[in-house]
Amino acid sequence: MIHNETEYQQAVANLAQSREYFAQQRERLKKEGFPDEAITTLIDSAMHFHLNLQWEVEHYERIMRGEFPELENLHGLGFLLISLRIAQGISQRELAKRLDVHESQVSRDERNEYFGITVERAAKILDAMNVRLKVVMEKTTPVVPAKRISSRVPSASAHRRTRRQNGRAAAG
């Protein structure tokens, strides 16, 4: 994850370099007579890091515009906390001061995306950044287990008994 403007600028430069590198490789492979399908397969398999870096750059740009990922049942809370800090231009050192903890604690927490964070701790971090989260509850349809259907097939005698009982009830 890109944590500051310096990392962002480095990532953008790396993206430009890797685009140029992949274009050169594509041309080289074409000159060597590789078919287009083979070139695409070779280049695509090597582009994993490039695509990940591109996603990080786009995410950084979104949070700098104030566009944050939505939370569902608090999944992704750590990622949101980091994004909020970055968007506000608060350094890890500054957040550590506000929380009265060592800077290495904030760094470690962010590296682990606040995995296992308590609600109380998340609230302290949000307070330290002067952020208020609003919760919108949406009722979901509960999953009702299907009724268990017996896999037993009634015997012929049981079937006749049921028919006789139903016949008596109808006659009486």
Average confidence score pLDDT of the chain: 84
| Higher-pLDDT residue of 169, 147 | 147
- Could you tell me if 77 and 114 are in contact, meaning their C-beta atoms sit under 8 angstroms apart? yes
pLDDT at 103 (0 to 100): 95
Decide if pLDDT at 143 tops 90: no
Range scoring the smallest mean pLDDT among 27-31, 47-51, 112-116: 47-51
Range scoring the smallest mean pLDDT among 26-35, 79-88, 151-160: 151-160
- Could you tell me if 129 and 95 are in contact, meaning their C-beta atoms sit under 8 angstroms apart? yes
Burial state string for 137-168 with b = 16 or more CB within 10 A and e = fewer than 16: eeeeeeeeeeeeeeeeeeeeeeeeeeeeeeee
- Could you tell me if 53 and 18 are in contact, meaning their C-beta atoms sit under 8 angstroms apart? yes
pLDDT at 160 (0 to 100): 55
d(CA 54, CA 74): 26
- pLDDT-derived band at 5 (thresholds 50, 70, 90) equals confident
Helices first, then strands: H and E counts in the chain? 8, 0
Decide if pLDDT at 105 tops 50: yes
Q: pTM score, two decimals?
A: 0.66
| Higher-pLDDT residue of 90, 139 | 90
Express each pLDDT in 35-61 by its tens digit: 998 888 888 877 888 889 999 999 999
d(CA 131, CA 125): 9
Mean pLDDT of 127-153: 74
| Higher-pLDDT residue of 145, 149 | 145
- Name residue 62's amino acid: R
Decide if pLDDT at 170 tops 70: no
d(CA 83, CA 60): 8
Mean pLDDT of 117-130: 95
